[in-house]
């Protein structure tokens, strides 16, 4: 009983009484939009260019990163060890300091002394 009486008094005294918000119209939350935008979305002039550039960049990144050359030192050492093992099993000489895995892929140059012009070495 005391709480009802207190509620009635507080509603009369408080400016935020029972009818707060009803004086200014209906609740327009359903019709409200942020920044008065309409529901129709129309691209601005810069959007197609930017989105096309994003898509092309992603395609280039995916293609470029999946097809990059393998430059890992562990993979090079594994390949070098396999080539040396094959040469050793075939009875060929294996020298320290010579990279045998690159002989098939690139020409082998050698020079006699410092400052000399490198010449194509014969195997």
The most confident of the ranges 4-13, 50-59, 71-80, 109-118 is: 50-59
Alpha helix ranges (H) inside 19-104? 47-66, 73-89
- Taking only the tens place, the pLDDT of each residue in 70-104 is 888 999 899 999 999 999 999 998 888 888 877 55
Q: How far is CA 8 from the centre of its chain?
A: 62
Could you tell me the pTM of the whole model?
0.40
Which residue has 């060929």 as its token pair?
Answer: 92
SS3 110: strand
- Taking only the tens place, the pLDDT of each residue in 31-73 is 767 777 777 778 899 999 999 999 999 999 999 999 998 888 9
SS3 102: coil
């Amino acid at each position: 009983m005391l709480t009802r009486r207190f509620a009635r008094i507080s509603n009369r005294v408080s400016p935020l009484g029972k009818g707060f918000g009803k004086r200014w119209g209906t609740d327009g939350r359903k019709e409200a939009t942020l920044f008065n935008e309409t529901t129709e979305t129309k691209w601005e002039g810069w959007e197609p260019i930017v989105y096309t550039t994003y898509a092309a960049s992603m395609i280039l990144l995916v293609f470029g990163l999946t097809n990059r050359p393998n430059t890992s030192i562990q993979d090079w050492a594994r390949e070098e060890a396999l080539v040396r093992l094959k040469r050793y099993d075939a009875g060929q000489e294996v020298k320290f300091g010579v990279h045998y895995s690159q002989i098939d892929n690139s020409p082998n140059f050698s020079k006699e002394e410092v400052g000399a012009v490198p010449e194509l070495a014969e195997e």
